[in-house]
């Protein structure tokens, strides 16, 4: 999903994930209208997201931040969780093993698992935020500007992870991004917003050539840049 600043991209993500409640219309997920489902329950249904600005607990370790993403799937009762006994302890141990095997190794962050978030470079913090979202076992993953502020190497790494998430894990990825090279390289379908309205939708090649998109967002220079990544 692309569009100029203020087009409504993040607002749409906030509506889908439950931070905003739309005045009208419906948000359908797996055939069900979830417009009145609380944000916490939407996470349990299979919606996960990252944010424009890193939203992590800086004083906690990488592993503990990632584990928070998986807590929406824990089912132990309050009493056992309070004393960390029985089912609560078993669930916690299974969650940790799953995260280490399926998330930390996948995103190549084993070497920083014990470090506090505040000690990490920005690019690694963005990767940890992605790891926390993956720990939720999402069906749909909403990524809000995942490569903003990254250098070229970090951007290429993130693009590789996004493609692997989709192709190897079968997770639908919705992406908001201003990096036109990334968008055109990895997207199957592109939607363009302008002032809250869809002005174009289609394959990267179709969107790149759309005159309304060129006028509203890409401009001649942006169109040439996107064209070089075709």
pLDDT tens, residue by residue, 134-164: 998 899 999 999 999 899 999 999 999 999 9
In the predicted structure, residue 128 carries a pLDDT above the cut 90: yes
What are the domain boundaries of the chain?
Answer: 9-178
Torsion sign (Cα): 174, 172, 137, 112: negative
Long-range contacts of 148-155 (CB under 8 A, 24+ apart): 148/52, 148/177, 148/178, 148/179, 149/122, 149/123, 150/122, 150/123, 150/126, 151/123, 154/123, 154/126, 155/179, 155/182
Asked if 66 and 135 count as a contact pair (C-beta separation under 8 A), the reply is: yes
Q: Which residue has the higher pLDDT, 44 or 174?
A: 174
Q: What is the mean pLDDT of the chain?
A: 85
Mean pLDDT of 76-98: 57
Mean pLDDT of 99-123: 91
Separation CA 159–CA 168 (nearest Å): 14
Question: For residue 107, what pLDDT band results from cuts at 50, 70 and 90?
Answer: very high
Least confident of 79-83, 88-92, 127-131, 153-157: 79-83
The pLDDT of residue 208:
87
Q: Which residue has the higher pLDDT, 193 or 82?
A: 193
The pLDDT of residue 11:
93
Torsion sign (Cα): 136, 49, 115, 108: positive
Percent of the chain beyond pLDDT 70?
84
Q: Which residues contact 43 (CB under 8 A, 6 or more apart)?
A: 72, 136
The pLDDT of residue 76:
44
Mean pLDDT of 51-59: 87
User: In terms of CATH architecture, what is 9-178?
Assistant: 3-Layer(aba) Sandwich (3.40)
In the predicted structure, residue 187 carries a pLDDT above the cut 90: yes
The pLDDT of residue 20:
92
Q: Which residues contact 222 (CB under 8 A, 6 or more apart)?
A: 180, 214
| Phi, psi at 75, each rounded to 5° | -120, 5
Please identify which residue in the block is written with the tokens 């309205």: 197
What the block records as the tokens of 177 is 């991004």
In the predicted structure, residue 218 carries a pLDDT above the cut 90: no
Rg (CA), the chain: 19
Half-sphere exposure of 179 (CA within 13 A, CB side): 20
Q: Which residues contact 121 (CB under 8 A, 6 or more apart)?
A: none
Summary count for the chain: helices (H), strands (E): 11, 7
Mean pLDDT of 191-217: 89
The pLDDT of residue 213:
86
Mean pLDDT of 43-50: 91
What one-character DSSP code corresponds to residue 110?
Answer: G
Q: Which residue has the higher pLDDT, 219 or 85?
A: 219
In the predicted structure, residue 18 carries a pLDDT above the cut 60: yes
Question: For residue 78, what pLDDT band results from cuts at 50, 70 and 90?
Answer: very low
């Amino acid at each position: 999903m692309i569009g100029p600043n203020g087009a409504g991209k993040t607002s749409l993500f906030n509506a889908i994930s439950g931070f905003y409640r739309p005045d009208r219309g419906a948000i359908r997920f797996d055939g069900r209208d979830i417009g009145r489902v609380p944000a916490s329950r939407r996470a349990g249904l299979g919606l996960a997201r990252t944010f424009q600005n890193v939203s992590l607990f800086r004083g906690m370790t990488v592993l503990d931040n990632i584990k928070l993403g998986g807590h929406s799937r824990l089912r132990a009762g309050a009493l056992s969780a309070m004393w960390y006994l029985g089912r609560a302890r078993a669930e916690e141990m299974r969650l940790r093993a799953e995260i280490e095997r399926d998330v930390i190794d996948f995103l190549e962050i084993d070497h920083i698992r014990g470090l506090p978030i505040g000690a990490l470079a920005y690019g690694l913090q963005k990767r940890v935020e992605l790891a926390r979202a993956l720990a939720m076992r999402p069906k749909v993953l909403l990524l809000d500007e995942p490569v903003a502020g990254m250098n070229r190497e970090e951007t290429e790494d993130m693009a590789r992870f996004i493609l692997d998430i989709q192709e190897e894990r079968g997770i639908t990825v919705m992406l908001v991004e201003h990096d036109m090279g990334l968008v055109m390289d990895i997207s199957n379908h592109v939607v363009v917003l302008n002032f809250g309205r869809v002005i174009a939708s289609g394959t990267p090649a179709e969107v790149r050539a759309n005159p309304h998109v060129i006028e509203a967002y890409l401009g001649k220079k942006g169109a040439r840049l996107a064209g070089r990544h075709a």
